[in-house]
Structures are given as C-alpha cells and as structure tokens.
Amino acid sequence: MTRDGLFRFGGEFLDPVRETAFREARLAETLRQCRLLFLFSVVLNSLFLVSDWRFHGTPHFYVAIPARLLVVAGSIVALALLHHARTVAQTERVMVFWQAVTAGGIAVLVSSRSDLALFVVLLLPSIFYLVVAMSFRLTLTMGAMCSALMLIGYLGAGPYPETLPGLLLVVFLMNCALGLVVVHANRLRRTEWLATQAERTAKDALAVSQEMIERLFMAVPIPLVVAARDDGRFLRGNDAARRYFGKDLAERQIRDVLFDPEIRRRIDAVLYERDRIVGQEAQVLDAGGAVRDVLVTATTLETDDTPAVVAGIVDITDRKAAEARTRRQATHDTLTGLPNRLFFQERLREVLDGVAGPGGGACLFLIDLDDFKSVNDTLGHDAGDELLFQAAARLAARAEPEDFVARLGGDEFIVLTGLLLTPDEALAKAEGLLDALRAPCEHGGQTISPRASIGIALAPQHDEDAVELMKDADLALYRAKAEGRGIALVYEGSMRAAMLRRVAVCRGLASALLENRIEPFYQPQVDLETGRITGFEVLARWRHSERGIIPAAAFQEGFDDPEIAAGITDAIVAGTLRDLRSWLDSGHAVGHVSVNLAASVFRDAALAERLLARLDSAGVPTRHVSVEVTESVLLTRNADEAARVLSTLREAGLRVALDDFGTGYASLTHLRRFPVDAIKIDRSFVSHLEAEGEDAAIVRALVHLAADLGLEVIAEGIETEAQEAALRAFGCRIGQGYRYARPVPAGRVPWLLELPRLPAEPMRGGIVAA
C-alpha cells in the first residue's frame, strides 16, 4: 500500500475496493496455475527420474537421481501446502518454497555440466519468470535468485570455461529481458482484467438501469402507452394505462380509444412536423366506456427498428368540470340562475358585432322592478328574493329563441333580442314582458303584486356601441320611472340631451356648494284681508359668476341627485337659520319661515333629528319654522320614512305644508295619513280663476275641504287683483305671488317687514328683488 491509501500493481495504483477485487480474482487464478505447474513438475521430473536410470554406475547418476527426487518431493509438498492456502500471500509463500526447492535441485543437477546443463540454466529461469503466478516483485526477485543459483550450480568450483564473461553477460541480459517481458505481461494482464471488469460493470449497470426504467415506467401514476406509428397498435402500456383503458390494451389500437378522427389527424400532423406534441386536449374512452377529457403529450421514438409513439395521458375531466362550475358561478346569478352582467356584456358585444351586416340589429329591454325596496322593507328579504326569482322565471319563460335574458344586479334585469325591430315592435314586445311581470305571486301567505318599468334601446338606430346602447336604455328607463312607472319607453335623443343637462347642472351645483354660492331668497306670504306679512317661503338661488341669480326652477334637475339635494338643503337651512336668528335678534316679527324639503332628502333616516339639532344650535324656536313637501314625497318608496320624519318635526313644533297640492297623483287619503298643517294651492289653478271655470271650482272645493279638515290654505302665484279678490271670496286667507313681492335676498326682508301692507303703493306690480 502506498500513497493516499492506494495499492500499486504493475507500476499502477488501484483504490482499496478495486484492489480487493483484483486480489480475489488473482488468488483464484494463481491457485489454478500453481496446481497445474506443480503437477507438471511432478510428472515431468518423474519421467526424467526414470530416464536417468540409464546413467546407472556413472558419476552423473549419483548427482541426477537425488536432484530429481528433491524436485519431485518439493513439488509434492508444495501441492499439499497449496491445498491449505487461503490468501494470495500464502499461495506466494508456497510458490517461493517450490521455486527455491526446484532451483536448488536443478542447480545440483546442472553441476555435472552435462550436454543439456547449460540449456537448462538458460531455459528454467524463463519458466520462473513467465509461468509462475506471483506478484510483480516476487516474480522478478525469485526469477533472478533462481537464475543466479542455477548459474552458481553450473559453474561449481571450477574449472571455469573461457566463455565465462560472455555467459555471465548472457544470463544478465536474459534476466533483464525476462523482467521487461514480465512488466509488459503484467500490465497487459491487468488491463485485460480491468477491461473485463469494466465490461461486466457496464453490463450490470445497464441491467440495473433497464430494470429501473421498467419499474419507473410501470409505476408512473398516469397512463403511459407506446403505440406503433403505422397501424396504431398498442405495443406497451404501464399499469396505470391498463387500469385506465382496460387489461386488453395490447389487443387494441389508438382509434379504439381516441375516437375523434379530427383530433387523431391533428396529432399525426404535429408529430410528423415536430416529432412531439405537448398538452393536446382530446377525448378518450376509458375501460368502462365513459368519455373522458384528457391532455396528451407524445413523442416519436424507434423501438426495434419500428417507428413508434410514446404518449402520456393526463385525465382532466374533473378539472374541466370544476372549471365549468367556476365559469358558471362567474357568469350566472346565484339566486335566479340567469346569466349575470359579465356574461351579458360578452353576449352584447357578440350580437353588436353582427349589427353592421345587412339586416342586422339588436334591441335592449332594460327592466327595473318598481317599489322593490318596499317589498324588502315590509315583507322581508325572503319575499324580495322570491320576487326576483319569480321575475327571472317569468322573463325566461316569455323569452323567444333569439332572446337573451340576464340579471344585471339588484332588481334590474335585461332582455337582449338579436333582431332588427322598429320602435312599435319593441314597445309591443315590452308590453308582453310587463304583462308577464304584473301577475301576482305568493310568498309566506302574502300576495305580492310586482310592477316594472322598461327602457328600450335599438341598434343600429340609436347606437352600435355596447356602452352607449346601455346608456340609451338606462336613459329611457329613467324617463319611464319619472313619468309614473309601470310603463315602457323607447329611447329618444332628447333624453340624452336632458341627461347631459342634468349632469352639467349637477356639476355646476357641486362647485357652487363648495364655493358657498347657494343662498336663500325669501318670498313673503301675505294675509289677503290686511296685506300684512304672515311669513316667508324660502327659495333656493344660485349666485352664478356669469349668469347672475339663477332661480331654483332653472336647476330643478339637481334635486333628483340625493347628494346635491342634501347639499342644497343643508346650505339653505344653514342660511335661513342664520338670517332668522338675526331678524329675531333685531326685533322683527317674521312669523314663520317655510323651508322646502326635496323628496330625495328623506332617504336620510336621521333627517328630523339633524334638523332639530340645528334649530337648537342656532337658538331658533320651532314655531318660527315650517317645512314644505310636494305630493311626490307621499308617492315614493320612502313614503313611510317621510311620514315618520314629518311626524317627528310636527311633534317638535314645526308646521308642515303640502306644496303644489292637486297637481300630482296623491289621493285625499294622504291628507289623513300624513301630518299636514297647511296645503298650498298650485299657481296653475290660481292663474285661471278669473275665467270662473273648472279651475275656480277646484280651488273653491280645495278651500272648503281644507276648512272642513282644519287645515290652513295658502294660494301660490297670485299676480292680479282679480285673483286676490276671487280667493278672498272662496275663503282663502293667505297668499303669495308677484302681486306682493318677488323673492328677495335676506337683506331686503327687514324693509319688507316695515311696510304697512302689501302690495305697497305705488308699486302695484309687486316689489322686485333687490
């Protein structure tokens, strides 16, 4: 053992493991060679022993017989010792013993200097060098020692031949040559052994690799198949493939499981072009004959000179089913089962893509359930859900093959028709939808009578863009709601103009609120008998930077926006309370001041509490403040909340007046249901009093009705003395209008209060605003 724990053999190094293997192999080989050599020595020397009896009686006989007997005995002893050798070292010691005995015996034999003695001296060392299987060092050492021993035996005590120097030189050169032969043979033998071992190791590794590949192929949990390219026969299949396609897989072909010819052609084309295919979706028949969705990944290969395809198959049936469920959840409404807004928008774009073609068209029916919130509030959300479900079912049942019904959210539905319709045809279809929705439905023993409004937009007549067409339908729906609900309207261009105006007005009002340019103006309410001011109505005015003072009628659209309406109300209330506190502090008898409350502000559940808190904070007694509401407040879905707010204010001492009475859709029962102290007769009735026609009869009836109910009557829009006289004759006591004064800013109110009566002389046409 030498450097780094390696063994040297024949001038080269072996690692310990390979050295051990080599030694074991060499031991077996050495034992075999030694046995043969020892037996050969016994047999050969025995023959020579018999042959040497011919020299009986000569001096040579007495030298040859003992020498032969010594060699034979040494070989026999070596054979016996070899039987007990278990290691290479033990075997080599036996070999050293045999060589020493043999060399000694031959040295004695050649001392006779017979004719063959010199030949033996030169020949026998070559046998020791080339035939005896020992380690490299021992081979060289024992060969040289045996050669020297036999040469010494040959020369003896003399006389020395004249050729002695040449003989010594020949023996030396022979030993050198034999040593080189041993070195070369040793290297060749080791190389041969290493090559044999390498080949054996490679074969073993190949067998292990093949076994591992086979085990991996069979153990892969997804089906793996090998099929012939020419006829599609299945050549191999792993365990998963046999479970998936059946145990008779080897008897089947690709077309038996991959039954779609188009997919087969596509896979063949891709494999022919690229030699592989990755993630190709297909449908196959499994062992039970069920159709399964799979992903196929395949590549070509050569097996026994047969073109083949190896393919891996991943079942994605469950994944696709989950994707379909996810897709449906993402594109359909959970409650009604109808397509949702996302799915509708996709379908709308598809339909509108075909509008440009000849005869192409589409029609949108945007449907909103009327008073849906009141159903939720009064009957509960279960009833509301039932109403939505029933509405969806009725729309779906009413739909024609070309219709697409969806729920956009809340109580909004939409029907998309992929046909070119005229406005009249669209209205007729919309009436059918309304009829389907009007039928009562039952829930929890309660009868629900649904109503709906519909906005209609046509393509390409109105728009071809999906977003704009939806805006058109929404504008038509907004107009249908404003005109009384329960109807269907087709979009008109004026609706968009009104919408743009409403947007512009709201934008301007939002800026005006931020800049405190919304302020109260005051129009006096006058006792028709005495001309004295009994109070004021507060009217909102917009002090515009370019247009000057703008009356509320010019920005009426802003009151439809809840945020804008709330902002205007807050600004007017704040200004009114500030002005009222100033007048009271100055000792002016202002009576009461009436503030108008828009219908949208009643969405605020804390409206009454907030208003009373502001009165208290400003130090204004409630008897000096009135609130006015229009009939529309009594008809909205917030009517119950409005009644509660008004009751709270009235109980706190505020007066409540019903403005524009007789112009809306309120019934007389509302006067009994809602807390009202006064009604205001609209100017549209007052303006025709001089004609003594139907308007005069209505005003007379309203005055008498109010008197019977104990309500105060205030007439609006009085402009002439004749109108004033007629109202006094009917029994109306309070009036307001341009005959007395136009709305004025807060700074002019003290001046008005100082006048003895209105109208003041000489300004018969009424006092103008300062």
pLDDT tens column, 89-139 = 788 788 888 878 887 777 777 777 766 667 677 777 777 777 776 777 777
Going from the C-alpha of 504 to that of each of 510, 555, 558, the distances in angstroms are: 10, 10, 9
Q: Rounded CA gap, 367 and 373, in Å? A: 15
Residue environment code for 142-167, b if the CB has 16+ CB neighbours within 10 A, otherwise e: bbbbbbbbbbebbbeeeeeeeeeeeb
Mean pLDDT of 637-648: 81
- Please report where in the chains the tokens 């849906």 appear, as a residue: 372
- The answer, yes or no, to whether the previous bond of 762 is cis (omega within 30 of 0) is yes
* DSSP strand pairing (625-630 vs 592-596): parallel
H or E segment and range at residue 744: strand 744-745
Distance, in Å, from the CA atom of 73 to the CA atom of 55, rounded to the nearest integer, reads 21
Length of the chain: 770
Q: Is the pLDDT of residue 762 over 60?
A: no
> What pLDDT does residue 521 have?
97
Q: Pick 285 or 4 by higher pLDDT.
A: 285
Which token pair is 176? 């050198």
Please state, in angstroms and as integers, the Cα–Cα distance from residue 431 to each residue in 182, 438, 451, 452, following that order: 117, 10, 12, 11
Tens-place pLDDT, residues 334-385: 888 999 999 999 999 988 888 876 778 899 999 999 888 778 777 788 888 8
Distance from C-alpha of 572 to C-alpha of 566, rounded to nearest angstrom? 10
- How high is the pLDDT of residue 453? 93
What would the pLDDT profile of 552-574 be if each residue is shown by its tens digit?
888 888 888 889 999 999 999 99
The single residue listed with the structure tokens 């009869």 is: 697
> Which SS3 state, helix, strand or coil, does residue 178 take?
helix
Position of tokens 């909103």?
368
pLDDT at 157: 60
Tokens 């196929």 locate to 296
User: pLDDT-derived band of residue 656, with 50, 70 and 90 as boundaries?
Assistant: very high
CB atoms within 10 A of CB 434: 18
Asked if residue 184 has pLDDT above 70, the reply is yes
Per the listing, tokens 């007389």 go with: 668
- Are 731 and 715 contacting, i.e. CB atoms less than 8 angstroms apart? no
The lowest-confidence range among 1-5, 289-293, 599-603 is 1-5
Q: What percent of the chain has pLDDT over 90?
A: 31
Asked if residues 493 and 727 have their Cβ atoms less than 8 Å apart, the reply is: no
With b for 16 or more beta-carbon neighbours within 10 A and e for fewer, the 22-57 pattern comes to bbeebbeebbebbeebbeebbeebeeebeebeebee
List own/partner pairs for 498-507 with CB under 8 A and 24 or more apart: 498/557, 499/475, 501/557, 502/557, 502/558, 502/560, 502/561, 505/555, 505/557, 505/558, 506/557, 506/558, 506/561, 506/564
Neighbours of 358 (CB within 10 A): 5
According to the model, what pLDDT value does residue 72 have?
82
pLDDT > 60? residue 761: no
> 3 or 339: whose pLDDT is higher?
339
pLDDT digit string (tens) for 228-280?
877 778 888 888 888 888 888 777 877 778 877 888 788 888 877 777 888 88
| pLDDT given at position 6 | 41
Q: Which helix (H) or strand (E) holds 49?
A: helix 16-51
Q: What SS3 state is found at 738?
A: coil
Q: Is 11 exposed, middle or buried (0-12, 13-18, 19+ CB in 10 A)?
A: exposed
